[in-house]
Amino acid sequence: MLSGVKCTVSNCKYWRNGEHCDASAIEVNVDGGGKAANQSEQTNCKTFYQK
């Protein structure tokens, strides 16, 4: 588990009680591609896997 990674997506297989991510690594990308985002809403967790 990655220490200090908060996740509020309760239907992700890596989500654990207390809003923790249990994945061994995470990948976050810019929505629509590219290398820069101006807001958190323009990013996506690609580690998500539905339970």
Per-residue pLDDT at 23 = 94
Please give the full DSSP string across 10-49, using - where no structure is assigned.
TTBTTEETTTEE--SS--EEETTSSS--SSGGGEEETT--
CA dist list (Å): 38 to 20, 41, 46, 47: 25, 8, 18, 21
Query: For residues 50 and 10, is the Cβ–Cβ distance under 8 A?
Result: no
For residue 1, pLDDT over 80 is answered with no
Which amino acid, 41? E
pLDDT digits (tens, 9 = 90+) for 9-39: 999 999 999 999 999 999 999 999 999 999 9
Stated length of the chain: 51
